Amino acid sequence: MKINFPLRLQKNMKDEKITKNSIKSIIKCDCCESDTFLVYKNSIDKEKEKNQENEKKEIEKFLKKHPILSYVIASDKEGRTYLRGTFFDIPVTKKIYLPETFDGNQRIIVKAKCVCCNNEVVLYDSFLDGYDAIIENVLKENTNEDCGFEAISDIPQKINVQIYNYETFEEFKENTELKNIEDYYNGYGAIKITLINPQNNRRNIILNEETR
């Protein structure tokens, strides 16, 4: 299986390691080669975040009762969003209505600033990176200027990024009709970002995101 970092981050890879379905690497600055950063995450609407967590729990409950079902998110005539399960294309009567503020497209951005030269690296942008973003073509360009950011730590950190891919390039092409290897690398299945405190080697997972 071909696995690599998304194109934007390939120049920032250091000491990469490949497993069966993932690749992980320490991040370095492509300007000065430093591997120590201050890390920031965009401000998330807390109410939407809470609603999304509730929605995920409802989906999990639903699938425990009907483990063979696939499901879709749909809307009724009144515009209310609900979860509808299907079993071999036979509709299931139960519908799970989601919170009115449900928003499956809440944007998540994680970026890092080099402590030596202030060069910035966008580690993850949910509107640009990962399977769904590539397939749905959510956003054509990086426009995060209007996103407010909060520092995750005041202490400079080392960053370990792990990218997961669950299908081969051939399977990706067949399932998506996208033929470029760049789309395959950018359309990965999951990402985990771990901060490493250089003073005590303590690790902190700040993002563990399925992208499909």
Between CA 47 and CA 58 the distance in angstroms is: 17
pLDDT reading at 102 higher than 50: no
pLDDT digits (tens, 9 = 90+) for 109-165: 999 999 999 999 999 998 889 888 887 764 445 555 556 788 998 999 999 999 998
Between CA 57 and CA 172 the distance in angstroms is: 29
3-state secondary structure of 5: coil
Q: For residue 67, give both structure tokens.
A: 């483990």
3-state secondary structure of 65: helix
pLDDT digits (tens, 9 = 90+) for 24-83: 999 999 999 999 999 999 876 666 666 667 777 777 777 677 665 555 666 666 666 666
